[in-house]
C-alpha cells in the first residue's frame, strides 16, 4: 500500500503538489477511455499508446526509502511503472534482468554494497558486452561539487542531479525524455 506512516511524513515534507497526489487504479486517457496496461499503476502517453503497448518503466536505486518512494510517487503520477531497489548490486541485477523493458535508471551515487557510480560502470559494461543500446542513467547525489558531476559522467551516467530534488521537474524531465524516445522508436517502425 502506498499509504503508510512514512508516506504521511512524505506528504508534509514535499509540499502541496504531493498532498493532491491521486493515482487512479485504471488510468484515463485524454479521450476519456480507460486504459489497462501491464500494471494497474501505469499508463501510456496518448501519442505513444497507438504504437506501443508497454508503459514507461524506471529502475530506481536508492538506499533511502523516503527518497525512493517520493520519486516513485511522482513517476507513478506521470503514468510510469517503477522498480525499486535499495543498493547498487540490486540495481545491476535488475538492470541486467530487465534491460529490454526499462526506459531509464535512476541511481543514488552513494549506496551500500556498490555505489551508483560503480553500478553505472557495470551496467554500461553489460550493455557493451551484449550489444544493447545504452539506457539513460541518471545520477542523484547530495554532493554539488563539479568534480562529483564529472565523475558521474565518466562512470557512464547520462546526467547528474543534486539533492534535494525538485521532484515535479525531475520527474517531468525523465518522463518527457522517455516518451520522446518511445515515440521516435515507434515512428521509425513505419
**DSSP code string of 45-108:** -HHHHTT--SPPEEEEE-S-HHHHHHHHHHHHHTT-EEEEESSHHHHHHHHHHHGGG-SEEEEE
In this prediction the pTM is 0.69
Residue 160, H or E segment? strand 159-162
Q: Which residues contact 93 (CB under 8 A, 6 or more apart)?
A: 85
C-alpha cell at 119: 553500478
| pLDDT tens-digit series, residues 63-102 | 999 989 988 988 898 888 999 999 999 999 999 999 999 9
| pLDDT tens-digit series, residues 118-162 | 999 999 999 999 999 999 999 999 888 888 889 999 999 999 998
Residue 138, H or E segment? strand 137-141
124 three-class SS: helix
Place of cell 485504471: 26
Partner residues linked to 160 by β-bridges: 139
HSE value, Cβ hemisphere, 13 Å, CA-based, for 104: 26
| pLDDT tens-digit series, residues 23-68 | 333 344 444 443 333 333 333 344 333 334 468 999 999 999 998 9
Amino acid at each position: 500500500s502506498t499509504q503508510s506512516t512514512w508516506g504521511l511524513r512524505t506528504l508534509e515534507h514535499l509540499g502541496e503538489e504531493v498532498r493532491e497526489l491521486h493515482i487512479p487504479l485504471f488510468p484515463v486517457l485524454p479521450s476519456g477511455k480507460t486504459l489497462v496496461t501491464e500494471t494497474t499503476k501505469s499508463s501510456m502517453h496518448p501519442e505513444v499508446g497507438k504504437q506501443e503497448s508497454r508503459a514507461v518503466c524506471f529502475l530506481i536505486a536508492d538506499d533511502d526509502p523516503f527518497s525512493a518512494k517520493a520519486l516513485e510517487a511522482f513517476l507513478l503520477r506521470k503514468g510510469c511503472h517503477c522498480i525499486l531497489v535499495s543498493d547498487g548490486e540490486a540495481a545491476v541485477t535488475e538492470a541486467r534482468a530487465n534491460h529490454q523493458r526499462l526506459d531509464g535508471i535512476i541511481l543514488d551515487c552513494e549506496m551500500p554494497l556498490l555505489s551508483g557510480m560503480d553500478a553505472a560502470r557495470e551496467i554500461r559494461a553489460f550493455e557493451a558486452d551484449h550489444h544493447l543500446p545504452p539506457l539513460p542513467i541518471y545520477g542523484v547525489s547530495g554532493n554539488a561539487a563539479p568534480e562529483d558531476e564529472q565523475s558521474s559522467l565518466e562512470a557512464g551516467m547520462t546526467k547528474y542531479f543534486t539533492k534535494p530534488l525538485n521532484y515535479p521537474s525531475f520527474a517531468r524531465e525523465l518522463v518527457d525524455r522517455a516518451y520522446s524516445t518511445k515515440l521516435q522508436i515507434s515512428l521509425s517502425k513505419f
